[in-house]
Amino acid sequence: MKVSRKVLGAAIGALLAGTVSAYADTIKVGIIGPFSGPFALQGKNFQAGVEAYMALNGKSVKGHDIEVIYRDLPAANPAQSRALAQELVVKDKVQYLGGVYFTPDAMAITPLLKQANVPLVIFNAATSAIMTQSPLVVRTSFTTAQTTTPLGKIAVERGVKKVISAVSDYGPGVDAEVAFKKAFEAAGGQVVEAIRMPLNTNDFSPIMQRIRDSGAEAVFAFLPSGPTTLGFVKAYNETGLKQAGIKFFAPGDLTQESDLPALGDGALGLMTTFHYAVSHDSPENKTFVEAASKAIGGADQLSFPSVGAYDGMHVIYKMIEATDGKQDAQKAVDAVKGLSWTSPRGPVSIDAETRHITENIYLREVTKGADGKTYNKEIQTFPNQKDPGLATQ
Ligand code: PHB
Q: How many helices (H) and strands (E) does the chain have?
A: 13, 15
Q: What is the pLDDT, as a whole number, of residue 368?
A: 98
Tell me, in angstroms, the distance from the centre of ligand 1 to residue 309's CA.
14
Tell which one of 253, 257, 307, 387 to mutate to probe ligand 1, the residue whose CB is within 8 A of the most ligand atoms. 253
**Listed residue (305, 358, 362, 361) closest to 336, CA to CA:** 358
Query: Among 356, 361, 364, which Cα is nearest to 339's?
Result: 356
**Which residues surround ligand 1 with Cβ inside 6 Å?**
101-103, 124-127, 172, 224-225, 253
Number of domains in the chain: 2
Q: What DSSP element (H or E) covers 110?
A: none
Per-residue pLDDT of the chain (393 residues; tens, 9 = 90+): 444 555 444 545 444 444 444 456 999 999 999 999 999 999 999 999 999 999 999 999 999 999 999 999 999 999 999 999 999 999 999 999 999 999 999 999 999 999 999 999 999 999 999 999 999 999 999 999 999 999 999 999 999 999 999 999 999 999 999 999 999 999 999 999 999 999 999 999 999 999 999 999 999 999 999 999 999 999 999 999 999 999 999 999 999 999 999 999 999 999 999 999 999 999 999 999 999 999 999 999 999 999 999 999 999 999 999 999 999 999 999 999 999 999 999 999 999 999 999 999 999 999 999 999 999 999 999 999 999 997 644
What CATH number did the domain enclosing 44 receive?
3.40.50.2300
386 shares its domain with 351: no
CA 157 / ligand 1 centre spacing (Å): 27
Residue type, 369: G
Answer yes or no: is 126 within a domain.
Answer: yes
- How many CB atoms within 10 Å of residue 14? 13
Whether 332 and 368 map to the same domain: the answer is no
Report residue 71 CA to chain centroid gap. 18
Mutate which of 42, 45, 124, 148 for ligand 1? The one with the most ligand atoms within 8 Å of its CB, which is: 124
pLDDT score recorded for residue 390? 79
Residues 224 and 295 in one domain: no
Residue 125 in domain: yes
Of 47, 150, 42, 165, nearest to 102 by C-alpha is 42
Amino acid at 230: L
Domain for residue 73, yes or no?
A: yes
Backbone angles phi, psi at 181, to 5 degrees: -60, -45
Task: Mark whether 231 and 108 lie in a shared domain.
Answer: no
29 and 138, same domain (yes or no) = yes
- In the chain, the N- to C-terminal Cα span, in Å, equals 64
| Beta carbons within 8 Å of 368's beta carbon, 6+ residues apart | 265, 268, 374
Q: Ligand 1 centroid to 328 CA: how many Å?
A: 29
**Does residue 377 sit in helix, strand or coil?**
strand
285 and 384 inside one domain: no
Give domain status of residue 16, yes or no.
Answer: no
| Domain identity same for 259 and 351 | no
- 79 and 200, same domain (yes or no): no
- Render 176-206 in DSSP notation, one character per residue: HHHHHHHHHHHTT-EEEEEEEE-TT----HH
Domain extent at residue 333: 23-142+281-355
Residue 5: per-residue pLDDT? 54
Residue at 308 is within a domain: yes
Residues 6+ apart with CB under 8 A from 286: none
Where are any strands of DSSP class E within the chain? 25-33, 60-61, 64-72, 96-99, 120-122, 137-139, 162-168, 190-197, 218-222, 247-251, 271-274, 340-343, 346-350, 357-368, 374-385
Query: In this structure, are residues 140 and 357 in contact, taking their beta carbons and an 8 Å threshold?
Result: yes
Identify the residue whose C-alpha is closest to ligand 1 atom 7.
224
Please indicate, yes or no, if residue 2 is contained in any of the structural domains. Answer: no
Do 229 and 331 share a domain, yes or no?
A: no
Alpha carbon distance 267, 338 (integer Å): 38
Task: Give the nearest ligand 1 atom to 170 CA.
Answer: 2
Residues 269 and 215 both lie in one domain:
yes
E strand or H helix that includes residue 292: helix 283-296
Domain check: are 80 and 37 in the same one? yes
- How many angstroms does the Cα of residue 177 sit away from the middle of ligand 1? 14
For residues 88 and 175, membership in a common domain is answered with: no
